[in-house]
């Protein structure tokens, strides 16, 4: 019965061989393209998921690292500010104060350095020592800190001179409880 059915269909539908070949080629190509698209989409979905996981994990790690680094920097800054309030900014260049700054800088990363500028922008103490006098009053971050536009300035990440270590600069204004620059020992501010 099925053979007779096929023969009877063949009597009604006459397709030339070329048309059958083209139809088969189009059908096979469509199946292949659909299969490749599905395979590519599956691969893309897996890669996207893996990428999102990597970015999320890296972001969490960087957040922890930045938080810990800023806490260490904040601790050092608090110590230096307390020392300046106790002894005055003018005494920072003395031998005992420089030793104290060295001890504070050890609490920072390998690239850790401490630079203290007066309200005119002149660096009055630096660990490690600077080769020449530097004035930072023309720097945007200094102007912002001096004009009280920012309490703390965190600079962009920079690469250290040697190797692949990175660091970022943190600047903070030293102010008294009323928001003014702290008084020097023996000086009274109203």
Helix, strand or coil for residue 13? Answer: coil
DSSP 88-118: -GGGGGSHHHHHHHHHHHTTS-TT--EEEE-
**Is residue 47 scored above 50 in pLDDT?**
yes
CA–CA distance, 67 with 59 (Å, rounded to integer):
12
- Give the pLDDT band (50/70/90) at residue 180: low
Q: Which CATH class is domain 41-172?
A: alpha beta
Across the range 121-143, mean pLDDT stands at 80
pLDDT for the residue 9: 53
Contact 105, 113 (CB under 8 A): yes
| Highest mean pLDDT pick, 3-7, 31-35, 159-163 | 31-35
CA–CA distance, 153 with 145 (Å, rounded to integer):
7
Q: Give the domain ranges of the chain.
A: 41-172
**Bigger pLDDT: 178 or 95?**
95
């Amino acid at each position: 019965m099925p053979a007779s059915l096929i023969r009877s269909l063949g009597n009604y539908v006459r397709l030339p061989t070329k048309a059958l070949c083209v139809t088969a080629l189009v059908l096979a190509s469509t199946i292949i393209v659909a299969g490749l698209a599905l395979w590519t989409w599956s691969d893309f979905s897996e890669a996207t998921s893996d990428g999102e996981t990597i970015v999320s994990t890296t972001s969490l790690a960087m957040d922890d690292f930045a938080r810990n680094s800023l806490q260490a920097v904040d601790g050092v800054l608090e110590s230096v500010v307390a020392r300046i309030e106790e002894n005055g900014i003018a005494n920072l260049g003395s031998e005992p104060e420089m030793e104290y700054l060295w001890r504070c800088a050890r609490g920072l990363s390998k690239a850790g350095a401490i630079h203290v500028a007066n309200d005119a922008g002149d660096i009055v103490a630096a660990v490690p020592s600077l080769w020449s006098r530097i004035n930072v009053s023309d720097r945007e971050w200094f102007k912002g800190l001096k004009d009280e536009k920012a309490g703390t300035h965190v600079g962009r990440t920079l690469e250290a001179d040697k190797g692949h270590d990175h660091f970022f600069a943190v600047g903070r204004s030293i102010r008294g409880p009323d928001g003014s620059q702290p008084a020097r020992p023996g000086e009274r501010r109203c």
